[in-house]
Amino acid sequence: MLAIVSLAYYNSIPSASSADSTSVQEWRLIVTGLVDKSLNLSWAEIVAIPKTTVNAALICVDAPNVRMSGNWTGIKLRTLLEEAKPSADAIKVGFYAADGYSTDLTIETAMRDDIILAYEYNGNPLNDLRLVVPGKWGYKWISQLTVIQLVNYNFLGRWESQGYPDEADIAPGAQSLKDLQSLFKIPPSTPTPTTSPSPSPSQPPIASPAPSQQPTPTPKAPQGLSLPIEAVYATAASVAIVIVVFGVIVIRKRAK
């Protein structure tokens, strides 16, 4: 369910040379939003800030029995926020990672003295900057942090917006995912965003074969007539003429 979170947060110990890699040197942290002074800090500027260490356990929701307990070293989040001077209207702090992940804290929680942006774990350098939030579930411990934004509305991060408690406080007795679902009052599974399948290229309509054309039958002459119609008419005309001539002759004879 939270496999992505596990991969993001249980990225235990990178190589000791990670802090000197080109990607780290090009990395920037931006503090923006409702602040009087936006910040755009390089890795060198981050590590130059006085550091602090807190002992805390990173516990992910989908593996509550697996813990990364130890000393996290970095800078206090409060130090950066005080430098940026939040507006009186700011109520939430949104955190964004390079891979698109997000989470949030209230402004009051963000100003806690034990919340830090860590770049070391148990004395070993991390390959990124990680938000350490003691007492909160792992979905608040965002890694690959690149942007911090202060807002005046109830911004919710990735898992918070899908039903996970915004407070994310680890309650006593949470030993399994089933326990967490009961404590959180969340559905048994978290919806996974799905990508609608791309429509297949439209195919030209396939024309049905045209019905075979049958030749139009030619009407046949009636079988009872053996002579053409013209011959019949000629014969009738001849008979009529003969009758007329015969009648004329008979009339003349009587007249004499």
How far apart, in whole angstroms, are the C-alpha atoms of residue 88 and residue 108? 12
Q: Cα–chain-centroid distance for residue 54?
A: 37
The pTM of the full predicted model, rounded to 2 decimals, is 0.65
Residue type at position 56: A
Instruction: Output the CA–CA distances (angstroms, integers) from residue 251 to 240, 254, 255, in the order listed.
Output: 17, 5, 6
From first to last of its 256 residues, the chain has per-residue pLDDT tens of 343 333 333 333 233 334 445 466 689 999 999 999 999 999 999 999 999 999 999 998 888 788 899 999 999 999 999 999 999 999 999 999 999 999 999 999 999 999 999 999 999 999 899 999 999 999 999 999 999 999 999 999 999 999 999 999 987 765 555 566 666 555 555 443 322 233 333 333 333 333 334 444 444 443 443 444 444 455 566 666 657 656 655 555 554 4
In whole angstroms, what is the distance from residue 154 CA to residue 47 CA?
Answer: 31
CA distance 114 to 53: 9
